[in-house]
Structure 1
Amino acid sequence: MTSLSILFVCLGNICRSPLAEGILRHLTSEEGRDQEFVIDSAGTGGWHIGSPPDSRAIATAAGHGIDISQQKARKVSTADFDRFDLILALDRNNLRALKEIAPPACRARTALFSTQAFGTVEDVPDPYYGGAADFEAVYRLLYRGCALIAAVPNDGPVS
């Protein structure tokens, strides 16, 4: 079976995108479909390159049985646009940033996470300046969306 490669992107790659990566990895693994997906995350900013996810993101994921503590933040590169089938921005600002750096001809389709998952144009809120309840709310939103993405039969790249 052909794999579907997905890159989740937020601003610093320490809160939302590592959670989305961890959730989708967990869901596909639980369904025995992990071989069907290549999953990663990155940020449009490079402030946290090499750092683990925010401790609150790690704690939130761990509270749901998901370990994201070994992830390391990285910045999106132009090569990502040819490495991935689908690049999902967690908010409209990051979607704009991705479109600005995307090569003119590339393999990846770039979209807003909520558009791909729910058919809406809502941002996944950034919990960085919030507390545990904000991280939990983002986790629940990402979980619902990732469950919908994982449920789509993978017969090849998303068009």
Structure 2
Amino acid sequence: MIKVLFVCTGNICRSPTADGVFRKIVDQAGLSNEIGIDSCGLSAYHVGELPDPRSREMAESRGYDLNDIRSRKIKPSDYIQFDYILAMDDGHLRDMRRQAPSEHQHRIELFLDYHPEMAGQSVPDPYYGGSNGFVRVFDMIEETSNNLLSHIRKQHGL
């Protein structure tokens, strides 16, 4: 099984959104038995909590369900167990590269590197902004997730 982990700060906005969106895309492609998906945060501020209500509302309006996702903090074993460890922003990327064993550095990437026009950029944190921030984040995540799945299918012959 190919395992994908989405990582943001507190695991209540960006990474659970990517988790829920990618999970549905993978389900629709009939690849749920081939690709495992999870999300986490670098901090423990929200451990055990549901995603932010604004993320859940936006998800619902677009046909996604984030209600089975609970915030968790990244664990050292995640760097070993996951094939793709995708940072939502460049700060997360730097932090994870400092934490991960050298032999697993290649698994850590910036999520938007899979976006056709936004490689090297960060998904903005919508937490402190208005609803337009959540719309923009969902648009980025949906497009990037489709490209990520195409990449995984090609790389792993799925």
- TM, length-normalised to structure 2: 0.92
**Equivalences, count:** 155
Q: Indicate the structure whose relative CO is greater, using CA pairs within 8 Å and at least 6 residues apart.
A: 1
**Does the 8 Å contact 1:12/1:43 carry over to 2?**
yes
> Counterparts of 1:117 and 1:7 in 2: how far apart (Å)?
17
**Does the 8 Å contact 1:85/1:107 carry over to 2?**
no
1:88 partner SS:
strand
Which sections of structure 2, spanning at least 5 residues, go unmatched?
A: none
**Does the 8 Å contact 2:7/2:40 carry over to 1?**
yes
**Does the 8 Å contact 2:49/2:70 carry over to 1?**
yes
Shift, 1:108, TM fit: 6.0
Matched residue, 1:79: 77
Judging by fraction of residues, say which structure has more helix: 2
Compute the RMSD of aligned alpha carbons.
1.7
Shift, 1:117, TM fit: 3.5
1:48-127 superposed matches below 5 A: 48-106=46-104, 109-118=107-116, 120-127=119-126
2:65 partner SS:
coil
Runs (4+) of structure 1 moved beyond 6 Å?
none
**Does the 8 Å contact 1:83/1:108 carry over to 2?**
no
- TM, length-normalised to structure 1: 0.91
